[in-house]
Amino acid sequence: MKIDRQAGWLKGAEILPSPNYDDRPDEADITGIVIHNISLPPGQFGGGWIKDLFLNQLDADAHPYFTEIAHLKVSAHVLIRRDGSVQQFVPFHKRAWHAGVSCWEGRERCNDFTIGIEMEGDDETDFTEEQYIRLVEVSKTLLATYPLLTNDRITGHEHIAPGRKTDPGPHFDWQYFRQLLQT
């Protein structure tokens, strides 16, 4: 994989530009990766609901849960589907709206300096081997492209918004991910 550094898009990803982003305070200040999980409706995988949420096209009448979230303006840089396919919604040098109220090592507003990667999943289900392989591939590409990123600058949403968020959750195998990242 490669990143078109000027455009901020990952070559090989399905590009689906979200309107939910803005400029970072400092485009060069990309110093962290935040891993999330998402499933829509909750606990269900497949379909286009996540894409629709990030593109502000979620049909509030399609599922009772959607009436609670259809108004949200959120995005991530990348979504890794259960089959390992990758969709990108926001260029990496722009600020995606993925972390919300957050703090990492004393720095608040984590959207300002992080890249958000959503894993299609939930707190109750193991992630797939294809997802781990693709996450490692995307992470290594980001590490090679953005010089301020390092292996120890990858964290979970639960770590930067404790008590508010639980993702990527207990079924995300951090040890396995970090082992793969070292190979």
Q: Known catalytic residue: 118? A: yes
Q: Which two tokens stand for residue 3?
A: 């990143």
Q: Point out the catalytic residue in the list 27, 118, 129, 137.
A: 118
- H or E segment and range at residue 131: helix 129-145
Residues 6+ apart with CB under 8 A from 147: none
Distance from C-alpha of 75 to C-alpha of 66, rounded to nearest angstrom:
16
Distance from C-alpha of 74 to C-alpha of 17, rounded to nearest angstrom:
12
Q: Where are the beta strands (DSSP E) in 106-172?
A: 107-108, 114-120, 154-156
Would you state the torsion angle of the CA atoms of residues 139, 46, 69, 170, taken in this order, to the nearest 10 degrees?
Answer: -50
Q: Which two tokens stand for residue 1?
A: 């994989």
Distance of CA 66 to the CA centre of its chain: 20
CB 36 within 8 A of CB 46: no
Which residues are marked as active site? 118
